[in-house]
Amino acid sequence: MAAAVGSVATLAAEPGEDAFRKLFRFYRQSRPGTADLGAVIDFSAAHTARGTGPGARKVVKSQLSVSSVSDQDAHRAGLQPVSKWQAYGLQGYPGFIFIPNPFLPGYQWHWVKQCLKLYSQKPNVCNLDKHMSQEETQDLWEQSKELLRYKEVNKRRPRSLLEKLRWVTLGYHYNWDSKKYSADHYTPFPSDLAFLSEQVAAACGFQGFRAEAGILNYYRLDSTLGIHVDRSELDHSKPLLSFSFGQSAIFLLGGLKRDEAPTAMFMHSGDIMVMSGFSRLLNHAVPRVLPSPQGESLPCCLETPLPAVLPRDSVVQPCSEEDWQVCTRYLKTARVNMTVRQVLAADQDFPSEPVEENQRDLTLEGFCHLDDDSSQVKRMKLDPDS
């Protein structure tokens, strides 16, 4: 393990391209189950919490605001009581909070189903809109569910539209071309996701957080998320929340400049990250989605279905056997990530802009943000819904 940490540090210090890009390439080409991943922090591992193991010297316990979220409200969102959550930070990254899977058993399925079945519907915007009509992308779930249900039976079947989905935007729709939000391109933000986000933000000390924009990223096993900073929101004093479901991934958190070597960590299904304060505007990326060591299978925390009986006031909705089967087939080779942000301060409005700015194409793929395997990037830029 020490050798792995040393080799990563040596690589980052070598002359040439910036340190972040070097480590991005290293982890993109990494081999699961080998020393390549020896320097990656695993917050869900007990030895990390005890302060031993690779990277653990950077790990510190984070304090949560337990009294800010009632046990009832946590349960309504499908979360354990905040008093049972574990929360960690990293030395040198003030404002960064990592919460290993705080969801109640089975409750992740609601959020997976919403990302695939509900949030992907119109009027929300997705990458497929660039080359398909609104009628063709009207209900991706209905057009895809039978193909996904029988995925294991027919290996040679064509890919479903859900498998071609790369991103969906919610609330204030992010403009991949101008890198801005605007008041005139907005659809109501999902109330259940807003409630979940408000509880997590409050537990992390951000009472009054308003979920105004969301970007959902849909990863295949060969997908990456390029190096970037989330700076388009007009109010940077509020946190960015990230929810991960499905296959595990490697997340890199760097500095204000790309010549600062990033810290690598695993993101497992159910994990939540909060980036606020100094960490809100740091470079970050996802160089690798990790296939399950058992082949096409689900993480252990997803083996339990959503309970049949839910609290009466829960924002979580029942998941039918058919829906569960479709989601299961999808997640065996995929990962879904929800990022939620507050765009405006309480008394803030969007600045006035020239009319032509608001009329620019709002559905560009922006593959510098979410790419498929590097061998396909050139082709994918030309044909983003392939």
Helix H, strand E, coil C: the string for 5-71 is: HHHHHHHHHCCCCCHHHHHHHHHHCCCCCCHHHCCCECCCCHHHHCCCCCCHHHEEECCCCHHHCCH
Whether residue 42 is annotated as binding a ligand: the answer is no
CA angle 293, 61, 277 (to 5 degrees): 100
Q: Which two tokens stand for residue 177?
A: 């071309």
Average per-residue pLDDT in the chain? 85
Q: Which two tokens stand for residue 349?
A: 């409005």
Averaged pLDDT, 362-377: 42
- In angstroms, the CA 75 to CA 243 distance is 17
Phi/psi-derived region of residue 348, left when phi > 0, alpha when psi is between -120 and 50, beta in every other case: beta
Predicted TM-score of the model (pTM): 0.87
Question: Is pLDDT at 183 greater than 70 in this prediction?
Answer: yes
Whether residue 369 is annotated as binding a ligand: the answer is no
Largest CA distance in the chain: 60
User: Is residue 249 within 8 Å of 336, Cβ to Cβ?
Assistant: no
Residues 6+ apart with CB under 8 A from 173: 124, 125, 181, 185, 186, 187, 213, 362
Please tell me the predicted confidence (pLDDT) of residue 58.
86
Eight-class DSSP state of 291: P
Give the pLDDT band (50/70/90) at residue 351. confident
The per-residue pLDDT for range 50-62, each reduced to its tens digit, is 444 445 558 999 9
Residues 6+ apart with CB under 8 A from 91: 57, 58, 59, 60
Please tell me the predicted confidence (pLDDT) of residue 210.
95
Give the pLDDT band (50/70/90) at residue 179. confident
- In angstroms, the CA 36 to CA 6 distance is 11
Averaged pLDDT, 96-116: 97
Phi/psi-derived region of residue 278, left when phi > 0, alpha when psi is between -120 and 50, beta in every other case: alpha
Residue with tokens 């009294």: 67
Averaged pLDDT, 272-297: 91
The per-residue pLDDT for range 28-39, each reduced to its tens digit, is 998 877 778 989
Beta-sheet strands, E only, within 148-262: 167-171, 213-220, 224-228, 240-246, 249-253
Residue with tokens 């839910």: 310
- In angstroms, the CA 293 to CA 32 distance is 8
The per-residue pLDDT for range 320-347, each reduced to its tens digit, is 999 999 999 999 999 999 999 999 888 8
Residues 6+ apart with CB under 8 A from 129: 137, 363
Whether residue 230 is annotated as binding a ligand: the answer is yes
Which tops the pLDDT comparison, 350 or 289?
289
Which of 309, 302, 308 lies closest to 327, judged by CA?
Answer: 302
Instruction: State which amino acid sits at residue 289.
Output: V
Please tell me the predicted confidence (pLDDT) of residue 363.
35
